Structure 1
Amino acid sequence: MADAPARSEPEDRQFVVALARGLEILRCFDAEHRQLGTTEIAARTGLPQPTVWRLAHTLQKLGYLVMESGADKLRLGPAAVALGGAALAGQESLDIARPRMQELADRYQAAVALGRRDGDSIVYLARCQGDSPLLMNLRVGSRIPLYRSAIGWAYLASGAGGERDLALAEAGAPGPEALQAFQDAVDLYDERGFVIHCRPQHHVNTVATAIVVQGNDRYAISCGGPASALPVEAILDEIGPALVKLAAELQPIFLLGRRYA
């Protein structure tokens, strides 16, 4: 999890620490972590257990969390679901983007996903699956590691110079191999407009690029699937350029959506 805003900006007098911590708890839940106990939440947020208990109790009272029947676990409640639904309903641009994403997914028998950054992750906002023998267990709401994925690398590589420098420094924290992998991705992005992430142990290749809407406002879009269907040579020659072309087609759609939001 990303560092809590409450701990990173203590000097801001307008900043409500309790609210930030409550929202941080809600962010712990995603497509892969639908049910969590308070001990797990404390570990993911770094908050003290008593604080988690009090905040979780308040969120339950307001309907944002509910206790799972027959299990000592919490899950998102109706209030949180309604809030997320309202956010997605306001993004008509996604409705226009999905058919074009699906066409690319069908063409290359791959999965095409669109996401935005949230802390140290990219959160999927839309995902389309082609007819592929390899079905990845990811869906809307899934969190993808920012520094260990094609979609994360593309988002970071598309940033301004200062943001890139910070990203490179943070990518080097796990070790020199991670730093070199990200540096190679940045170099490829500068040259070709996309990045490639290969996972030979899983026989999966993924290509990704960014959709820079305006200023620093941007999305990232990826196309991934079996290495047999998406070999590196095909990505470099055909699939990567096709993804960049799709990103260029989607950019004015998202820009128009911003202006009329």
Structure 2
Amino acid sequence: MSRGPAPVRAHTPAAEDAAEPDRQFVTALARGLEILRCFDAERRTLGTTEIAHITGLAQPTVWRLCHTLQKTGFLHVVPGKDKLQLGIAAIALGSAALAGQEALEVIRPLLQVLADRYQVAVALGRRDGDSIVYLLRCQGNSPLLMNLRVGSRIPLFHSAIGWSYLACCTPEDREALIARATSEGRMGDEADQQAMATAIAQYPERGFVFHPRPAYQINTVAAAIELPVSERYVVSCGGPDSLLPEPLMLNEVGPLLRQLAKDLQPILLMGRHI
């Protein structure tokens, strides 16, 4: 339900903060964490050249950081390949984070109800850099099964779930994000930009964005969950247009998703440790 190339550089809040003078900021640590962020459900193994391309870091810097991450157990060499993957230390850290996410287990059945009703996919995500990372994904019995799962990264500027995040940003924050992406050539062509602008402009009235993709015969709606800006979540519902034609999305599925976002708000507010 998304498209667009992987970002050339992984922008993170830490990296952005580092642009301002901060005597307490440890640049080497931020760069090491930026390397760990390169790995996700789709990019399970990476070479140092790929990591350098994704992060924008110099190759010698990547070599040194990856060596350190290997020594500390956060990265591991894939047997028989010149590739790296997350090590036991990173997996243990992720498991510790997931252990406290009781709110997600409360939310899962609510997403599954909508997924089963229309036999499509419903996902909950949160922004990380220039992507929305899936925290939950529920799949109905759809004839079209997308190769997406928990941990998948969806491009912020090329997806309904990303557009819904942008739609609930302040105009200043949204303009800053778009300006940076434009300067780095990650905004797509003029038609893509116009489609995004239209969807965002319609969000206040609709309460959701609608993203049709005729070339792929997929339609998606998405809505933001109103929380403090640093903790904002987004939810989406999408599938083949044979199951989710535009009139159904605009008149029925979109409003249901808008209500689902409202229903999830108090659950996420109570479980803000997620």
TM-score normalized with structure 2 length: 0.90
In 2, Cα distance between the equivalents of 1:168 and 1:54?
33
The match for 1:121 is 131
Q: Check whether the contact 2:10–2:38 (CA below 8 A) recurs between aligned residues.
A: no
- Say if 1:51 and 1:171 are closer, same or farther in 2 by CA, change over 3 A: closer
Distance 2:146 2:249 in 1: 19
Q: 1:183-202 alignment to 2 at 5 Å? A: 183-202=197-216
Question: Which residue does the alignment assign to 1:64?
Answer: 74
Q: Residue by residue, what CA displacement relative to the aligned partner does 1:194-222 show, whole Å, maximum 9, x if unpaired?
A: 00111111111111001112355310000
> Cα offset for 1:174?
3.8
Q: Which amino acid aligns with 1:42?
A: A
Q: Which has the higher contact order (CA 8 A, sep 6+)?
A: 2
State the number of aligned residues: 260
CA distance in structure 2 between the partners assigned to 1:90 and 1:15 by the alignment? 27
Question: What is the Cα deviation at residue 83 of structure 1?
Answer: 1.0
The within-5 A match list for 1:66-105 is 66-105=76-115
Alignment partner of 2:271: what SS?
helix
Whichever residue aligns with residue 172 of structure 2, its letter is G
2:162 counterpart residue number: 152
Mapped contact 1:214–1:255 kept (Cα < 8 A):
no
Q: Name 1:210's counterpart in structure 2.
A: 224
Contact 2:10 2:34 in 1 (8 A): no
Alpha-carbon distance in structure 2 between the residues aligned to 1:96 and 1:30:
24
User: 1:60-119 CA deviation, whole Å, 9 max, x = no partner?
Assistant: 111110000111100001111111121122221101000010010000111001000000
Shift of 1:28: 0.5
Q: Which residue of 2 aligns with 1:252?
A: 266
What's the RMSD between the two structures over aligned residues? 1.7
Contact in 2 for aligned 1:205/1:230 (Cα 8 Å): yes
Look up the equivalent residue of 1:95 and give its one-letter code: E
Which has the higher mean CA deviation after the structures are superposed, 63-72 or 180-189?
180-189
- Secondary structure of residue in 1 paired with 2:232: strand
Which of 5, 10, 13 aligns to 1:2? It is 10
**1:145 to 1:213, Cα distance in 2 relative to 1, 3 A:** same
TM-score of the aligned structures, taking structure 1 as reference length: 0.94
Contact 2:107-2:264 within 8 A present in 1 as well: yes
Query: One-letter code of the match for 1:2?
Result: A
Kept after mapping to 2: 8 A contact 1:65/1:76 = yes
Quote the Cα distance in structure 2 between the aligned partners of 1:249 and 1:150: 20
Shift of 1:2: 3.1
State the AA in 1 paired with 2:226: V
Whole-angstrom distance in 2 between the partners of 1:177 and 1:171: 16
